[in-house]
A and B are shown apart, each in its own frame.
Chain A
Amino acid sequence: MHFSDIANIFQGITSLVHSSWPMIAARLGLIVLGGVLVYYGRKGVLEPLLMIPMGLGMAMVNAGVLFLDPTTAAVVAKSTGGAVLADGTAQGTIMLAPFVERTDDLMYILQIDFLQPIYTFAFSNGLIACLVFMGIGVLLDVGFLLARPFQSMFLALCAELGTVATFPIAVALGLNFNEAASIAMVGGADGPMVLFTSLKLAKHLFVPITVVAYLYLGLTYGGYPYLIRFLVPAKLRAIRPVAHPVVKISAGEKLAFAFVAGSVLCLLFPSAAPLLLSLFVGVAVREAGLQYFTNMIENTILYGATFFLGLLLGVLCEASTIFNPKVLLLLVLGIISLLLSGVGGIIGGYILDVISGRKFNPVFGIAAVSCVPSTAKVAQKEVSAVAPDVIILPEALGANISGVITTAILTGIYVSLVPLMK
């Protein structure tokens, strides 16, 4: 047996040593990062439902690089413009080829790569984002929003500061309008909407943008408490909200709101209509008492979509896919956007505090960042730390749900208007 035969058996290692130094470092770095995501997912620091499949996918796709046979290598190279080696082979994986788009090539790759059918038929067309949104709709109780709509909506608009302000910052830093709008959406703190916007506006960057978004969303639970402590003194964090009588909103009223809000928003943003329909059909199914549908969406669809979303995001983090000079810029802009949204929400909280004569807890503002229900829970946790008997969660959830609606509005604005900008 010749040495080259042994090298051919262990292609993962052979492909690694045959790569350039930056690519070796990127592959090993992403394997380690995958391990870190699994570790912190298991510890509960990051969202385990998403991070464990994502970390495992990220590690294994970078370990599982091999030499594709000449036919497959030619198909992939034609679509990606990548290089083919002298013997006709090329480095790649048999998990997913995200940049193959021509129908003939796609039909070939669909029979080779095991995750390609899910990617092509559920991910790259935004279906998976809509399915996750349907699940979020089923989990949302719009009654919290209906109890105090103006307050919730005002806070939610303030908490879009990052989504709005990051757009000109990103343009000033050299991104085009489509790329800038996609990364600005990270400030909306809503993964499916970032995925949807980047798929519509900047398909070439949707992998790094979505990965950056989900990584940062996982960090909101750990990072926002520091922002609250930095911006809101303990005395103000302990403000007890004015007690309002508990109002029971009937299912019919919630259903009416879902119908009117969904229809008006679709009229305004037809390009975001699939996402809006998914959200409000979830709300409608819940409020109409369709228990079989509720169970199916809440258990099967939401968890199934989240699992494949995490796995696909991990697998898409193959070094050659994610190796883009803009990634560092996206990392910086993503954190700016999320930070500004948090600051905007708290500014909104301060404005209401002043208007109400110092009776409004500014921490409510952070809950208007639409990462349901993480930011509402963070707000309650921070208030409980200084005033254990103060309960703000129900009202915070109202602001949280308004945040989902305002982020959907911002998605619609960007998806509709940015393509018109020259």
Chain B
Amino acid sequence: MKLPFQPLLPWLPGPALALAGVMGVRWLAPLFAGRTQAIFLVVGYLLVPVGLAWFASRLGRRATQRAAAAAKPPA
């Protein structure tokens, strides 16, 4: 069965990872102290650029696929 939001699914991992980083920094890290808190902060802050880069690479891949489709001679 094809769900109505299925076309959106491939786009979600990047922003979801970045949001996981945001949650790690803003909600999880304050629950701990000392070294554990520092680990949550560092990992959270690193997840944000990685998530954004993932989303950006998905956009780049889409552009590549479109370019390849345009370059393919019509059957």
Residue numbers of A with Cβ under 8 A of B are 145-150, 152-153, 156-157, 245, 247-250, 253-254, 256-257, 260-261, 264-265, 267-268, 405-406, 409, 413, 417
Contact = CB atoms under 8 A, between A and B. Distances in A.
Interface of B: 14-15, 18-19, 21-22, 25-26, 41, 45, 48-57, 59-60, 62-64, 66-67
A245 B64 contact: yes
B63 A264 contact: no
Contacts of B57: 146, 149-150
B28 to A, nearest CB: 13
Nearest to A145: B56
A405 B60 contact: no
A84 to B, nearest CB: 49
A147 B60 contact: yes
Given A146-B59, A264-B18, A248 B49 contact: no
Given A267-B22, A268-B21, A256 B45 contact: no
Contacts, number: 80
A146 B55 CA distance: 9
20 contacts: A146-B56, A146-B57, A146-B60, A149-B53, A152-B53, A153-B50, A157-B49, A253-B60, A254-B59, A257-B55, A257-B56, A261-B52, A261-B56, A264-B18, A264-B22, A264-B48, A267-B22, A268-B26, A405-B49, A405-B52
Given A248-B63, A253-B62, A264-B51, 5 more contacts: A146-B63, A149-B57, A245-B67, A249-B63, A257-B52
Contacts of B67: 245, 247-248
Nearest to B57: A149
* Residue picked from B53, B54, B56, B60, most chain A C-beta under 10 Å: B56
Nearest to B46: A157
B56 A149 contact: yes
A422 to B, nearest CB: 13
